[in-house]
Structure 1
C-alpha cells in the first residue's frame, strides 16, 4: 500500500553485527516508444585463449569449448544492433620462454564494437585456437583503443587465470587509463580461477566500478556470461537537449518542455526558466546518477539535491523540495521533482508581491547539489525533465478510486532486461511475471504504461543464491515512480542469499488508479498519481558488505498486475489544432526544444508557448547502513522535505 511519506529523515534501527549496504546504472532496454533498442554502451568482449584454456573443464570437454558455448549464448541473447566487439589473447604464439616478448603483445581484435553481426561473431569465436600467454593488461589497453573516445563504454573480460605478463598489473593499467580520461567500466568473469587470479580480476572490476563474477565450470559460464554482457550494455548514458543553467535567475535560459541535459557542480545552484500559460501545471525534475566508488566511508556517503521555485522578478514562491541518497557510492540514481500549480491560481494584481507566484508567466527553478559525499567528481551530468500540462475544460471523474487488487500471475514468466536509467527502462507490457538477473551493485529500471483509470500492483522476488556471510550480505530495494520521476513508494530489506520478497510486509506495492482529480486528494501520497503515462519501477541489489567479488548475481522475478479499466481522461484547453493532435503531453520520445537565451520575463498570463511534452514521453534505500556492535544504531535512508 501507499503510505504517506514523512517530512523528516526516516530512521530504521538495525540489530546485527554487520554493515547493511545498498546500491550506476550501467542500458539494454527498449526505446521510449517501445519499438526498438535504445542507446547501448559499446562493449568489447575480451576472451582468454591462452594455453591453459586447452585444459579440461569439470563438466567435460576443454575450457575453450565451454567458453565458445558461452559466447554463443551471449550472441543469441544480445539485442539486435547491440554494439558488441570481440578480442582474444593468446592465439598468435605458444607459451615458451622464447616467445614471451611476442606473446605478451598477442591481442587480436576479431570483431570491432559495431552493430552486432551475430553470425560473423559466432563464426569468429568458433575459429579460436588457444596457445599462448595471458596478457590481461595489454588486452584492456587494446579494448579501450577499439571503443569510442567518449561516452559510456564497457569491457567484459573472461579469464581462467592471472596475467602472465605482469608487470604492469592489470589494476595499474586501468588506473592509468582512468588517469588519461578513459571512462571505462570493466566487468570480469573468473572461469575456474584460483584465489590469486580472483583477486586480480576483482581488483580490475572494482577499480573501474564494474562487477566480478565467478564461473567455476562450463554450465556456470554459459549462464553467467550473457548476464554480465547485459550489465555492460546497460551502462548509464545521460540524455537530453544540451542546456546551461546560470547562477542567477535573471540570466537563466528558457527551457521548453522535454528532456534537457546539463552538469551541476558541488554546492552549486543552477537556475532554469520555464514559461507556464495561465491555468497550466508545470512539472520539473532533475536526476543525477552517482558513479560507483570503492572504499568510501558510509558515514560520509550522502548526497542531497534541492529544488526551489521562484516567480515574477525572482520572488520566492516558498516551494522547496529536498531529496537525499545515502550510500551514493553504490551508483545511486537520485531525483528531485516538483509539480508547480501556481499558474492555475488567479493573479488578481492586488498585491505587488503576494501574486508574484500566481497566474501564467515565467517561473524559475533553482537546482542545488547541496550535501556532497566524499570521492565524487567536481561536476556530474544532470537530466532535467520539464512538462507543461494545459488547463482543463473538463477534469473527468473526480472521485479517488480505491487501491487495486494484486492478482497472482499465471503462465510462464517472461524474460526482460532492465535498463540502467529511466531513459532505457525495460518495458513491462502487461500483467504477468518477468525475470531478470542483477549483478551485485546494480540499480535497474522497468516501466509500465498506465492509462487514465489504471493503476499497478507489483512485488519483487529475489531468488536464493549460494553462500552466506558478510561477503554475500547486501541490501535490496525497490521503488515506484510517476511519469515525472517522483517517487510514490519504496521498500527495502537485507539480503544474505536467502530468498526474499519485497514488499516484506504485504502482498504488493500498489498505486491508486490514475485520475486527474487525484491531485486534489485528501491523502497527500495519492496526489502524485494524477498523470497518465509511463510509470517506472526500480530494482536495486546493493554491493556486498565485504565485497570480495564472490557473491553470485541475483535472479529476480517481478510480478505485476495492471489494475482497473481504461477510462476517458480530462479534456484539455489546447492552444492550436497541432497541440491537440500531439495531445496534452506530447508524443513518446519527443525531444526537448533547444533552450532560448534569457530575455525579459514574459508578462503575467502571457506565456510564450503551450507546446507540451508528456511525462509519458520523457526518456529517462538509496540506502544506508549501520554498524552494530552489541547494540543497534540508526540506518538513515532518505530525506524528503517540502514547504509550501
Structure 2
C-alpha cells in the first residue's frame, strides 16, 4: 500500500498557508488522540484459524474482530454468480503498540478450492507510527475473469504480514490488533459494456484553491469521517492521531486533494515521514497515498491527479486508476507520526486541506439490482446538506460545523426536516426550536 511513501519527502513542498487547531478536533481530555471510532452498528465476530467453522459475513454490514501476532484468520461469504463482492479490513494497533516499516495486514478472497480471487496488503511504511491502515480484496464477475465466477462458498483470509508477504511470528511486532471488516456487494449491469479502461483524461495538477479556510473537525474512523465539499478547510492534529474526512465524488467527476501541516512554535530536528495522507474509495479500498517529512517548517503534500470516476476504471492496469471505479464518498485519512512529539511537542499542529471536485456529474451505470448497503455508490447520499443545489461540490461549511455532520450540526433541525411539514409550519417550528436552543445555551445547558 505505502510504496509511494518511499518518495514521500520528494513530493513535499513548502506551503505559504498554515492552519490552526480546531477546538472540535477529536482529542481525549488528556490531549492524546481518541481511539479509532468504529461504526455504531458493528457486530463482533471471531475469525477462525480454519475454514471449517468460519463465521459468515453478510453484505452491507461492518464487523469488529481482532488478530494476533502472526495471525491468519478466516471468515465465510455466500456469493451468487452475478454480483461483485468487496471486503476490506482496517487494522488498528492497540494503544502502546509498536510497529515497523514492514508490518502490515493482508486480505484475500478465495473460493472453496483455495483459488485466490484477489488480494492486497497494507503496511505502516516509512512513518513506523501505529495508525489505522486498510487493505481490500474482491470477487469480481466479468468476461475478463477466469476464476471465482461460480456461486458458492468463499472465504476471506486476513493475515498479519511483513513486506515479503510472510506471516512468520518472529518477523512481526508483538501485540494484538483490532480489526474493522466491511463487506459491500455490487450488482451486475443490466447490459454488458466496455471492458477497456479510459485512456485519455486530464492528468495536469490544477492551481491550489485559495481563500480563507473554514473549520471542519475530522473524525476518528471511516464511520465518523467529516464530510468535505470543494474548498479550503482547517483542523488541528496531534502526533499519533489519524483524522478521517470523506468527499462525495459522482460519476464523471475528478477528485484532487492536498494537505498542509502548519509550522511549529518550538522544537527542532527532522522526522522523515511525519505526515501520511491516504485515499480510500467508497468500499474502503486503498487508492493512493503521499508522505511528507517535517522539520518544524510548514509542509505540504498533494495526491497526484487521479482519473475521473468511471465504472470502466476497474479494467485499468494500475491500482490507482482501478480504485476510481465507483461514485460515492472517497475517504482521506490523515496521520501525523507519533515521533513528531519527541522533537516538536504534543501539538496540536495546524492542518489545512484543499479539496477540489471538478467536472459535471453524469448518470452512472445501469445496475440490474441494488448495491448493499444501497447508497454506498450514491454521491448525493454523502453530500454536505449545506451545499447549494444539492451538489457535493459546493461544500460551503460554517464555523458551527461538526465532525461528520452535513446538516450544519444541529440535530434539532434534523427532526424538523424529517417531519414532512409544510413550508410555513416548518418555518414556525424552526424559529421555536432555534429560540429554545438559544435559551438553553444561555443558561449553560
Q: Does 1:450 align with 2:237?
A: no
Q: What's the offset of the Cα at 1:340?
A: 2.0
Partners of 1:570 and 1:360 lie apart in 2 by 23
Aligned equivalent of 1:243: 45
Measured in 2, the distance between the counterparts of 1:251 and 1:346 equals: 32
Q: After TM superposition, give the deviation of residue 370 of structure 1 in Å.
A: 3.0
CA contact (8 A) 2:90 2:133 kept: yes
1:252 is aligned to: 54
**1:541 counterpart (302, 315, 336):** 336
1:527 Cα deviation (Å)?
A: 1.3
Say yes or no: does 1:362 pair with 2:153: yes
Residue 331 of structure 2 is aligned to residue 528 of structure 1: no
Q: Deviations over 1:262-293 (max 9, x none)?
A: 12122221111112221221101100112343
Asked if the contact 1:287/1:336 (under 8 Å) is kept, the reply is yes
Confirm whether residue 441 of structure 1 aligns to residue 240 of structure 2.
Answer: yes
Q: Deviations over 1:153-181 (max 9, x none)?
A: x852xxxxxxxxxxxxxxxxxxxxxxxxx
Name the SS for the 2:52 alignment partner: helix
Separation (CA, whole Å) in 2 of partners of 1:338 and 1:328: 24
Conserved? CA contact 1:445–1:539, under 8 Å: yes
How do residues 200-279 of structure 1 correspond to structure 2 at under 5 angstroms? 210=32, 231=33, 234-239=34-39, 240-257=42-59, 258-279=61-82
SS at match of 1:251: coil
Residues 483 and 533 of structure 1 are in contact (CA less than 8 Å); yes or no, is this contact kept in structure 2? Answer: yes
Instruction: Tell me how far apart the structure 2 counterparts of residues 528 and 438 of structure 1 sit (CA, whole Å).
Output: 27
Count of residues in Structure 1 that have an aligned counterpart in Structure 2: 358
Partner Cα separation in structure 2 for residue 241 and residue 587 of structure 1: 19
User: Post-superposition shift, 1:465?
Assistant: 2.2
Deviation at 1:439, TM superposition (A): 1.3
Q: Which residue of 2 aligns with 1:572?
A: 367
Which of 319, 335, 358 aligns to 2:118? It is 319
Contact 2:102 2:124 in 1 (8 A): yes
Report deviation, 1:468: 4.5
Indicate how the Cα distance of structure 1 residues 318 and 487 shifts in structure 2: closer, same or farther if over 3 A, else same. closer
**8 Å Cα contact 2:240-2:338 kept in structure 1:** yes
Q: Secondary structure at the match of 1:485?
A: coil
What is aligned with 1:37? none
The separation in 2 between residues aligned to 1:541 and 1:493, in whole angstroms, is 10
1:43-82 correspondence to structure 2 within 5 Å: none
Give 1:467 shift.
Answer: 2.6
Counterpart of 2:275 in structure 1 is 476
Q: Assess if the C-alpha contact under 8 Å between 2:103 and 2:172 holds in 1.
A: no
Deviations 1:276-317 (A, max 9, x none): 2212211011001123438x5x7x5642212232213x3322
Structure 1: how far apart are the matches of 2:121 and 2:148? 20
Structure 1 residues 515 and 552: CA distance shift in structure 2, 3 A: same
Q: Return the TM-score normalized by structure 2.
A: 0.70
- Distance verdict in 2 for CA 1:247–1:416, change over 3 Å: same
Shift of the 301–515 alpha-carbon distance from structure 1 to 2, 3 Å rule, reads: closer
C-alpha distance in 2, partners of 1:262/1:335? 14
Q: What is the root-mean-square deviation of aligned Cα atoms in Å?
A: 3.6
CA distance in 2, matches of 1:287, 1:277: 25
How far is 1:553 from its partner? 2.6
Shift of 1:383: 0.7
Give TM-score scaled by structure 1 length: 0.50
Deviation at 1:514, TM superposition (A): 1.0
Q: Secondary structure at the match of 2:223?
A: helix
Judge conservation of contact 2:277–2:333 (CA < 8 Å) in 1: yes
Q: Is the 8 A contact 2:83 2:186 kept in 1?
A: yes
Partner SS, residue 342 of structure 2: coil
